[in-house]
Amino acid sequence: MSFLNKIFGRGKNDAVDKANKSAPAESPLIVPRDQHTLSRSQVSPQALKVLYGLKDAGFEAYLVGGCVRDLLLGFEPKDFDVATDASPEQVHKIFKKSRLIGRRFKLVHVGFGRDVIEVATFRAPPEAEQHIDQQGRIMRDNVFGTLEQDAWRRDFTINALYYNIRDFSIVDYTGGIADLQAGKIKLIGDVETRYREDPVRILRALRFVGKLSLTLDGETETHIAALAKLLLDIPAARLFDEVLKLYLSGKAVETHQLLVKYGVFAYLFPESARLIAAAPDSIVARLLTRALENTDKRIQEGKPVTPAFLFAAILWGPTSERWLRYQNNKIPTIPALQKAANEVISEQVQRVAVPKRFTLVTRDIWLLQIRLTMRQGKRGFRLLTHPKFRAGYDFLLLRADAGEPFEELAQWWTDFQFAEESEQQKMVNGLAPEPKNKKKRRRRRKPAAKKVADAPVVDKA
Ligand code: ATP
Ligand code: MG
């Protein structure tokens, strides 16, 4: 991969040859400052302050993880992580604006507001059996260690590169530089053990493939399908965090394809995965792809994206399937959709804990699909003021785009929104009258026996 060559500014590098031949190296590969392209000017001022603060207090300080990897690859890092030999308490003492966080492993967050720099003390690998459960999962790993130990306990070789603030060199214990040059994502150590220790590494591996356009190294790839089921043991809250990272990376289309290809999607969204596997070219599959394309585009344009919309798209398959089934079972259209939505969401959040503030909006987006078909009288006007109108309308466009028969309805709403009021009134007047409901006979005495006699009728656009 040509863009990797620029890691090294000048010609051939003996140390890299050595790492290529004998990774993992016993002693680290050290790439001096003049032989790589990572420069201080690319590092955020806050991160530099933290690095120098630690150094000036007599400690070791390194940038590590995704930021080093991304800078060497020419991407802008999402955040800057610092590793040090100072204990969390010592770090906290050095920086006034800092706080200790974390239960499983203590970390320090320096600086508040938008730019938080996470500072972690070098960590030792989990000490053999006592911290490992029956599945091989790490239960506790809070033992401080050396830089070398810290490198080996990390997930992938390309995530274990350290930028030393003392001499601006890059320190590589695990062969990360060579793998970065080869464009390989490779787990450190025994692959099966490392996936078992923390199955979320499966999601991370696929996320990095999607996001960085690298490829999975042999065993790092081959064990995924067989071990993906271990994701069932991961708490739903953690899976929610990971799902957001997977789908909001700006490369959701690629990443989603990888999740499907390796059978991982089924452990995150079982119902949706079942439908997509049964009919990969179906309307709901297309709708999801379109939604992901839009998400990527919005992220690239720096526009906000709401997870609620993403989940509305991912879960529309199972929801619309049930909606139809319930309507066929004579449940009126609105209660049928409400029932379908409630069931799908409550089953799904047990797997991926989407917080209520998002699922409420997801539900709104779905229910608006009915309301958008009811435009007569004042309804159309009222709907424009609905707080989630825009999301509901966007979702309708998506459905039309994916092949549902809503082209005309979507166009009507597009025109209606931007028309003058008099024009809007004309548009409403021009609508075909809603099919009349059968006349109700007023019964004064008896309370209504059937509550749902007058289900709203969905007009066909
Ligand atoms: P990005 O921030 O771009 O998503 P990242 O690699 O920085 O990618 P983080 O979650 O910020 O990901 O983690 C920072 C670093 O911590 C990683 O690069 C890796 O070295 C280490 N790390 C994170 N998660 C794990 C894990 N599950 N197992 C081992 N090491 C991990
Ligand atoms: Mg990071």
Tokens linked to 296: 């990527």
Considering the domain architecture, whether residues 230 and 246 belong to the same structural domain is answered as: no
Buried b (16+ CB within 10 A) or exposed e, 376-403: eeeebeebeeeebbebbbbbbbbbbbbe
Contacts of 400 (CB under 8 A, 6+ apart): 406, 407, 409, 410
Minimal-distance CA residue to ligand 1 atom 3: 66
Longest dimension (CA), the chain: 96
Amino acid 129: pLDDT: 43
Q: Is the CB of 261 under 6 A from ligand 1?
A: no
Catalytic residue of the set 70, 85, 155, 217: 155
CA-CA distance, 209 to 259, in Å (whole number)?
11
- Residue 441 falls inside a structural domain: no
Q: Is the CB of 65 under 6 A from ligand 1?
A: yes
Amino acid 113: pLDDT: 75
Residue 81 annotated as catalytic: yes
Q: Which CATH number belongs to the domain containing residue 1 in this structure?
A: 3.30.460.10
CA-CA distance, 386 to 307, in Å (whole number)?
19
CA-CA distance, 59 to 285, in Å (whole number)?
53
Phi, psi of 64 (to 5 degrees): -150, 160
Residue 357: CB atoms within 10 Å: 9
Q: Say if CB 334 and CB 456 are below 8 A apart.
A: yes
- Residue 447 falls inside a structural domain: no
Query: In Å, how far from its chain's centre is CA 313?
Result: 14
Ligand nearest to the CA of 76: 1
> Which of the listed residues 218, 234, 250 is the one where a domain comes to its end?
234
Considering the domain architecture, whether residues 254 and 397 belong to the same structural domain is answered as: yes
What's the 81 CA to ligand 2 centre distance in angstroms?
6
What's the 60 CA to ligand 1 centre distance in angstroms?
20
Q: Is the CB of 78 under 6 A from ligand 1?
A: yes
- Residue 275 falls inside a structural domain: yes
Q: Is the CB of 198 under 6 A from ligand 1?
A: yes
**What's the structural domain count of the chain?**
2
Ligand nearest to the CA of 211: 1
> Which of the listed residues 193, 209, 234 is the one where a domain comes to its end?
234
Atom of ligand 1 nearest to the CA of 81: 14
Amino acid 178: pLDDT: 97
Considering the domain architecture, whether residues 244 and 183 belong to the same structural domain is answered as: no
Q: Say if CB 373 and CB 459 are below 8 A apart.
A: yes
- Residue among 147, 188, 144 at smallest CA distance from 166: 147
Minimal-distance CA residue to ligand 1 atom 28: 155
Considering the domain architecture, whether residues 64 and 154 belong to the same structural domain is answered as: yes
Q: Is the CB of 194 under 6 A from ligand 1?
A: no
Considering the domain architecture, whether residues 296 and 225 belong to the same structural domain is answered as: no
Out of 44, 70, 80, 81, give the residue to mutate to test ligand 1, the one with the largest number of ligand atoms within 8 Å of its CB. 81
Considering the domain architecture, whether residues 220 and 289 belong to the same structural domain is answered as: no
Tokens linked to 294: 């839009």
Considering the domain architecture, whether residues 151 and 225 belong to the same structural domain is answered as: yes
- Residue 450 falls inside a structural domain: no
Structural domain that includes position 275: 236-430
Considering the domain architecture, whether residues 293 and 353 belong to the same structural domain is answered as: yes
| Full pLDDT tens readout for the chain, 461 residues | 433 444 544 334 444 444 444 444 469 999 999 999 999 999 999 999 999 999 999 999 999 999 999 999 999 999 999 999 999 999 999 999 999 998 767 899 998 677 899 999 999 877 644 555 666 665 555 678 999 999 999 999 999 999 999 999 999 999 999 999 999 999 999 999 999 999 999 999 999 999 999 999 999 999 999 999 999 999 999 999 999 999 999 999 999 999 999 999 999 999 999 999 999 999 999 999 999 999 999 999 999 999 999 999 999 999 999 999 999 999 999 999 999 999 999 999 999 999 999 999 999 999 999 999 998 888 989 999 999 999 999 999 999 999 999 999 999 999 999 999 888 999 988 887 776 655 555 556 655 544 444 444 444 33
* The model's pTM: 0.86
Strands 81-84 and 117-121, sheet pairing = parallel
Q: Which CATH number belongs to the domain containing residue 397 in this structure?
A: 1.10.3090.10
- Residue 457 falls inside a structural domain: no
What's the first-to-final CA gap in the chain, in angstroms?
Answer: 51
Considering the domain architecture, whether residues 226 and 349 belong to the same structural domain is answered as: no
Minimal-distance CA residue to ligand 1 atom 8: 66
Q: Is the CB of 137 under 6 A from ligand 1?
A: no
